[in-house]
Structure 1
Amino acid sequence: MMGLALLLAAGIGWWGWKTGRLRAPRAGDVAALVAVLVAVRLFSRGEAVTAVAAIGGACWWAWFRTRNMLRAPADRGMTPERARALLDVPRGASASEIRAAHRRIIQRVHPDAGGSTQLAVEINAARDRLLATHVKR
């Protein structure tokens, strides 16, 4: 049982490394891994309640970490008004209008065309913000 759990943990670790999710581990990531290993050991001893608590803590950390990783840093402070101003689209713009405005502007400000990396990141965040709001409506 313990060998199978360790093999499973090694497989998950390999997957995390290959997908890039474990390239910059934090102290909480290491603590979650230790919690999972302790939970496996507790399960093997028959202490299921304590093991479930340890697994729950590790799962909470994984959810919390993934949720924060999915947000683009520039998107966190991007308001819809600022996004519309950057892309120069009206308030009720459709998804195709937003994408067309993004394509038009990104051609000029892309780093490969001599533009600023930071501005390209902001333009992409503006597009993502408006399309996310557009989908929610």
Structure 2
Amino acid sequence: MGWLAIALIALAGWLIWTGRLQRMTVKDGMALGAALVGAVMAAKGKPVAGLPLLVGSALFFLARSRKGRAQGRPPVVPATAEGLARARALLGLPPEADAKAVKAAHRRLIASVHPDHGGTEALAAEINAARDLLLRHLKSGPGQA
């Protein structure tokens, strides 16, 4: 019984930590309901009936988290000379700028264009993309592209 309570607390903590409780869908609610029914059944001495509900709910949430993580990664675009020049121009950097200079320029610019300070999300995203492109290029070797 104690391990079951710990598992439910862990599930609730995971849901809160990942933000799933803020954007819960009907399927999430049904899976959470099934987990609760399974927990109650297991607590009342019917673990054979409750365990499949708990395991099914856990697998449902695990599959959703993995699917979301895989979809959340944007495809890596190879750095072209034109893209690098545009990123350097956006951040106001010379071609010989190192990673430290890229990070400093990004910090300076993002402070003024961040949506919390009156800027736009699009411009902040563009500056972040420029920083990521330049840092990825520097990490892979400046002689490429």
TM-score, normalisation: structure 2: 0.52
Q: Per the alignment, do residues 115 and 59 of structure 1 end up closer, same or farther by CA in structure 2, a change over 3 Å counting?
A: closer
Higher RCO (CA-CA < 8 Å; seq separation 6+): 1
- The unaligned stretches of length 5 or more in structure 1 are none
* Gap change, CA 1:6 and 1:112, over 3 Å in 2: closer
CA root-mean-square deviation? 4.5
Match of 2:47 in 1: 44
C-alpha change, 1:91 and 1:12, in structure 2 (3 Å) is farther
Amino acid at match of 2:126: E
Instruction: Find the counterpart in structure 1 of residue 100 from structure 2.
Output: 96
- Max Rg structure: 2
Instruction: Report the number of matched residues.
Output: 130
Q: Deviations over 1:13-64 (max 9, x none)?
A: 256336644212233433443454466558811797x569624343222332
Q: What is aligned with 1:13?
A: 12
- Partner Cα distance (1:121, 1:27) in 2: 31
Q: Structure 2 unaligned segments of length 5 or more: list them.
A: none
Residue 124 of structure 1: aligned partner? 128
Normalising by structure 1, we get a TM-score of: 0.54
Residue 105 in structure 1 maps to residue 109 in structure 2 = yes
Deviations 1:63-105 (A, max 9, x none): 323x16865xxxx378445874244357886432321231343
Structure 1 residues 108 and 11, CA gap change in structure 2 (3 angstroms): closer
Classify the secondary structure of the residue corresponding to 1:23.
coil
1:95–1:131 Cα contact (<8 Å) kept: yes
Aligned-partner residue type, residue 24 of structure 1: R
